[in-house]
Amino acid sequence: MSQLKYCQGPKCHTYDTKDRKRGPKDNKRNETRRRSSFYYLNGNACSMTCQDDWFKVYGSRALQHFGMITQPKVLTRDNAWTNRRDWRSEGNDGYYAYNYLTEERRPITEQQYNDDTNIDDQGRLNI
């Protein structure tokens, strides 16, 4: 069983729902939601509202921390590769690397299709 963790939404405790209520009748309080898994904010927020709250408070700071781009990123024939599969084909024949700009196709293995090791994180072909 996985460990419980708290929703990272900075205002989670301010939303008045039954499952957030804790404490005895004369001292009721609302607490941040705690679950084994969440669906939002990469598994760290209990709702889209909490995800939006997090972004409003921390989004700009996260961009500053990890670095804003100062020049446009550019898609050229060198980094326009993606792996595709032709579902009508049988076996390895259906797997290929596809170039968005040149429309070139290069055969790849099923393994490469599944693990993407033939393309780097910038979209360049490694084979």
Q: For Zn ion, give the closer residue by CB, 29 or 106.
A: 29
Q: For Zn ion, give the closer residue by CB, 33 or 112.
A: 33
Q: For Zn ion, give the closer residue by CB, 13 or 84.
A: 13
Least separation in angstroms between residue 63's CB and Zn ion is 22
Residues that bind Zn ion (CB under 5 A): 7, 9, 12, 33, 46, 50
Least separation in angstroms between residue 49's CB and Zn ion is 7
Q: For tokens 């259906």, name the residue.
A: 94
Structure tokens at 39: 């669906």
DSSP H or E run through 87: none
- The CA–CA distances, whole Å, from 52 to 67, 73, 88, 112 equal 21, 26, 41, 36
